[in-house]
Amino acid sequence: MSLEIKVPAVGESISEVTIGQWFKNDGDHVEMDEVICELESDKATFELTAEAAGILKTNAKEGDTLEIGDVICTIDTNASGDSAPAEKAADSPKEESSSSTGGATGEVKEMVVPTVGESITEVTLATWLKNDGDYVELDEIIAEVDSDKATFELPAEANGILRHVAQEGDTLEIGGLICKIEVTEGGAPQGEPAPAAKESASASASASANETYATGHASPAAAKILAEKGIDPKDVNGTGKDGRVTKEDAEKAQKAAKPAAKQESKPAAKTADAEAPKVSGDRNSRREKMTSLRRTISRRLVSVKNETAMLTTFNEVNMKPIMDIRKQYKDKFKEKHGVNLGFMSFFTKAVCVALQEWPAVNAQIDGNEIVYNDFCDISIAVSAPKGLVVPVIRNAEKLSFDEVEKEVVRLATKARDNKLSIDEMTGGTFTLTNGGIFGSMMSTPIINAPQSAILGMHNIVERPMAVNGEVKILPMMYLALSYDHRIIDGRESVSFLVRVKELLEDPTRLLFGV
């Protein structure tokens, strides 16, 4: 029986996902609940497990975008766990070797490009180390394959006669067919010398047994680097298989110095026409395919800029009162609650009070209607390994300082470990982003749609400030409120930010709600 595995529903607002990586290849045997691939949405990355044991048949490739409910693969539950399914072996053409194949089994082993890295989707066949029609042994190196990051060797997956499918220089996707092996038993077929005998005969026939096509030949990646440096591959000492010039050899290669030209006396007036000195140094660059998460972030940010009337208003806050409170109570706070007393709890509580006083900042547009929220779900922007993610603190207006701090730590830890669930990143009525931890002094944050406003926090800098006619050095922070002018007027945005400033500069207001 063939069981269809479909893309599951992963969130209320998610309509499509992208295949990030296959952990099992087409034709592999999989066990029930075994992880077979990784899927990426615009909010999170999650794993897809097998719903039964059997032989896997993939319907999509890495990088493909599928809608919810699309068939991503099938599992043949009646097939055995062999590396080559019986059906596949029966359907494959039984190619006959030109030489006598007394040990031929009739089985044809198809070799595909293996998965070589998370972000690598294609490779280039650099060199065939075994010719078409050669006898190869299991695990014998038959070819070299180049990716954009490294060169690796391809071993034979069976004993038998090699049949090339791809040619040198061809670019193949991961999982693409690269060659076939006509499987034999009991060693090399009759009339075909064993590998050791072939090497001995080759050595006696050639003065230099190590010189092959690969000798002095640069891989595609190495050739590109050498071309940029203006170096002939023949002038580079290759350290790869049979003297092949690898990418690492090309990066280390230096152009030979030209012999000094004969000095000729020139009029002093022409010295200004002399060539400018050439600056030496590496000028390497690399290309990487954007992840699905990064592409989605890019698309959404551009959409927000184009579809909202976004403005930013600024203010500054004296952080000394909060810093004094933290200094006085941080040890007792941590001792009692087991978490540090940070700035985020003060900002979260302050914006919750201000949002309830200015509900338009906590609202959003839905078609021709404005949706006002009487709760405060605060999104916290976190820089994760795969990009910016925004987990949500639910009903932050009802949480205490220690509950806010614990939730911030929990969500930030899960974000950096790429373990946030869809529910933890869905929704949110207002966003806080803290660029100050990276040293940002001023910025204009972009709204996190469909929300209508976002507050940007920045670094704290001691500056001279006029206080009651005196100059004092105070720790100051710039605040930036970006908002959608379609729903929030200037009076509301400025008043909201002033209210946040008042609450932060006199934190006791947060305790008494004044």
CA-angle at 115, arms to 114 and 119, nearest 5°: 145
419: left (phi over 0), alpha (psi -120 to 50) or beta: alpha
**Partners of 364 in the beta sheet?**
371
d(CA 476, CA 456): 14
CA distance 24 to 514: 60
Nearest CA to 184 among 162, 166, 155?
Answer: 162
Cα-Cα-Cα-Cα dihedral sign, residues 158, 164, 165, 166 = positive
* Residue 132 known to be catalytic: no
Identify the CA nearest to 486 among candidates 363, 375, 351, 378: 363
Please, what's the largest Cα pairwise distance for the chain? 104
- Closest residue by Cα to residue 446 from 247, 302, 262: 302
CB 351 within 8 A of CB 483: no
What are the backbone angles phi and psi of residue 180, rounded to the nearest 5°?
-130, 150
d(CA 119, CA 116): 9
Among residues 132, 331, 489, 506, which one is catalytic? 489
83 within 8 A of 28, measured Cβ to Cβ: yes
485 among known catalytic residues: yes
Closest Cα partner for 89 from 22, 182, 185? Answer: 182
H or E stretch covering 164? strand 160-164
Instruction: Work out whether the CA dihedral 9, 12, 14, 19 comes out positive or negative.
Output: negative
Residue for token pair 């009076």: 491
- Which residue in the block uniquely carries the two structure tokens 């070819």? 143
Which of these is catalytic: 33, 331, 485, 506? 485
505: Cα within 13 Å, side-chain hemisphere: 16
Q: What are the φ and ψ backbone dihedral angles of 314, each rounded to 5 degrees?
A: -120, 155
Active site residues: 485, 489
